[in-house]
Amino acid sequence: MSVEEQEMPLSEIKGAFAASLTRNNRQIKKDRALAIVEDAQMIFKREVEDMETRIKRMKRERDNMLDLSPESATSLKLASEFDAKAFVSKDIDLGIQIRNLEIALDIARTRYAELFT
């Protein structure tokens, strides 16, 4: 059998490879758009989740600052060992970070909803 006899029309060739090569412009654009949307949505969703996690951890850290019993539930840190200035500074700093991140999270959630729902 010669090579010419073995050749089939492209329309009769089956399989994903041939189908991919013969896609039309609309199909190609749709596939590319879908890939872009999926990538952006996954990254956006992950960023929102990461912000939520950071806020929870900062709130937990701030709450843990109130635990002044270093060894056991019945002990208490000595007044001479407590640095009130450092405590207040850290508490305010964490509060500002939490508030800023809550604002960013609200913006990210709103934008995510606009873009993907």
The string of pLDDT tens digits covering residues 1-21 is 555 556 766 667 778 877 777
Rounded Cα distance, 92 and 69, in Å: 21
What is the per-residue pLDDT for 16? 81
Domain residue ranges of the chain, discontinuous segments joined by +: 3-116
- Token pair recorded at residue 15: 């399989």
Q: What is the pLDDT of residue 14?
A: 79
pLDDT value at residue 40: 97
pLDDT of residue 10: 61
Following DSSP, what letter does each residue of the chain receive, concatenated? --HHHH---GGG--SHHHHHHT--HHHHHHHHHHHHHHHHHHHHHHHHHHHHHHHHHHHHHHHHTT---SSSTT----GGG--HHHHHHHHHHHHHHHHHHHHHHHHHHHHHHHHH-
What confidence score (pLDDT) does residue 70 get? 66
Residues in the chain, pLDDT under 70: 1-6, 8-11, 70-77
CA angle 58, 86, 54 (to 5 degrees): 10
Residue bearing tokens 């329309």: 11
Predicted pLDDT of residue 12: 74
CATH 1.20.1300 fits 3-116, yes or no: no
